[in-house]
Amino acid sequence: MVVTGTDTGVGKTIVTAAIAAAATVAGLSVAVVKPAQTGTAEGDEPDAVTVARLAEPASTRTLASFPDPLAPLAAARVAGEDPLTAVMAQLAVRSIADNHDMTLIEGAGGLLVPLGENGWTLLDLAAAIGATAIVVVRPGLGTLNHTALTLEALARRDIPALVVFGAWPADPELVHRTNLHDLPGDLAGAIPEGAGAMTPPLFRREAAHWLDPRLHGRFDPVAFRSHSR
């Protein structure tokens, strides 16, 4: 599965961690791959480290890292380093997937952000390896358009997709409730706002409640929509 988002900062890393945690608790050997990590010079915890800390999957790996907080292709250019090639990414992912029950590939920013040489994207990688896409979305204003555009791009490449809210508020406002009702796509989960600040043991215990059975959880989108009205 590839984990993408409608934009940067929508909660992809926490959703990736939640899926990894739920699948690991269910007994699967889970690998998490970050093709390109940027912004390493800022001192923030890298995404793969966050996932490893919260979810304890069988393995995590980052294929390329760059210091500046830019799109990966631009970050490589600014740093004077070679960008990751599409072939290198595909070979690495296939090799890792051969040794695990589930492999999650977390993108950078949105679906069409250039990740490496010649501008290849997470969409290209998903099409090449035959992956399902998890689209992480915001609950607030603007999400209907952003979600529809992302799903349309995936559908044009015949990539199946599930939608997950990256940070659902504890007290939804009118805009959140109406967006929940009108959201396009197949809703498969909602991560509570602030979940990333939980202790790792609590995060792992709770993760299954946030995701539907296709993601090894117990989330019921019909009940969630009814409860959130």
- 180-218 per-position pLDDT tens digit: 999 999 999 999 999 999 999 999 999 999 999 999 999
| 101 pLDDT higher than 80 | yes
| 66 pLDDT higher than 90 | yes
The domain covering 2-227 belongs, at the CATH homologous superfamily level, to P-loop containing nucleotide triphosphate hydrolases (3.40.50.300)
Q: What is residue 227's predicted lDDT score, i.e. its pLDDT?
A: 80
pLDDT band, very low/low/confident/very high, at 57 (cuts 50, 70, 90): very high
pLDDT band, very low/low/confident/very high, at 42 (cuts 50, 70, 90): confident
Q: What is the pLDDT of residues 5-27, one digit of tens each?
A: 999 999 999 999 999 999 999 99
| 228 pLDDT higher than 80 | no
In this prediction, what percent of the chain has a pLDDT beyond 70?
100
Distance CA 174, CA 188 (A): 21
Strand partners, 164: 136, 189
Calculate mean pLDDT across residues 83-94. Answer: 98
**CB within 8 A of 12, min separation 6: which ones?**
3, 4, 5, 47, 106, 107, 136, 166
| The one catalytic residue among 12, 34, 100, 176 | 34
Q: What is residue 132's predicted lDDT score, i.e. its pLDDT?
A: 98
- 34 is a catalytic site residue: yes
Q: What is residue 43's predicted lDDT score, i.e. its pLDDT?
A: 81
| 229 pLDDT higher than 80 | no
CB burial of residue 130 (10 Å; 0-12, 13-18, 19+): exposed
Distance CA 151, CA 177 (A): 21
pLDDT band, very low/low/confident/very high, at 44 (cuts 50, 70, 90): confident
Q: What is residue 49's predicted lDDT score, i.e. its pLDDT?
A: 97
